[in-house]
Amino acid sequence: MRRGLTVVNCEVAIVFSHAFIGVKDFDRALRFYRQLMPVLGIEERFCERDRPWAGWQSQPETRPLFLIGKPYDDQPHEAGNGQMLAFLAPSRTAVDRAYAVALAHGGISEGPPGVRPEYHAHYYGAYFRDTEGNKLCVASHVPVT
């Protein structure tokens, strides 16, 4: 069994239903994620500006779902210290591209793309904060061929 994945009959089971990221400025965050998500092959599923919230999903599965929106308790959003959401990228090129798109659309670098052997030999990741201060990572675990 790998951390974060449950192996059942040699198939990987999805263990997350969704991840929700709070935002202060919904329109600014929406513009940011509408640029970032297609780089990772994650499609927008819905956007409800009056609520406000929006969601994206990978295909062909409907889960896990990634959501942004105003906090449910109507309190102001504050980016947490120690929390981070990591998106899986299909290649190192996709990591590089996602990082560039993030920074071009208001993201702030927390660590440029690169190999991080302290995690494992093939870990290639980039770290940044979105327009709301939420820490994100884009990582590939695929060896270079």
- pLDDT tens figures, 54-109: 999 988 877 788 999 998 888 888 888 788 999 999 999 999 999 999 999 999 99
Residue 51, classed as helix, strand or coil, is coil
Q: Examine residue 25 and state whether it is found in any structural domain, yes or no.
A: yes
pLDDT at 42 over 70: yes
> Torsion-angle region of residue 61: left (phi > 0), alpha (psi -120 to 50) or beta?
beta
Q: Residue 48's beta-bridge partner residues?
A: 53
Q: Which domain holds residue 135?
A: 6-70+84-140
Domain count of the fold of the chain = 1
Q: Where are the beta strands (DSSP E) in the chain?
A: 6-8, 11-13, 18-22, 43-48, 53-57, 65-69, 85-88, 108-115, 124-129, 135-140
Q: Examine residue 75 and state whether it is found in any structural domain, yes or no.
A: no
Q: Examine residue 145 and state whether it is found in any structural domain, yes or no.
A: no
The more confident residue out of 145 and 38 is 38
- The residue to which tokens 């956007």 are assigned: 47
Q: Examine residue 97 and state whether it is found in any structural domain, yes or no.
A: yes
Q: Which tens digits make up the pLDDT trace of 9-23?
A: 445 566 778 899 999
Mean pLDDT, the chain, rounded, equals: 88
pLDDT at 7 over 70: no
Assign residue 57 the CATH number of its domain: 3.10.180.10
Q: Examine residue 18 and state whether it is found in any structural domain, yes or no.
A: yes
Q: Give the pTM.
A: 0.82
Q: Examine residue 77 and state whether it is found in any structural domain, yes or no.
A: no
Q: Examine residue 39 and state whether it is found in any structural domain, yes or no.
A: yes
Q: Examine residue 1 and state whether it is found in any structural domain, yes or no.
A: no
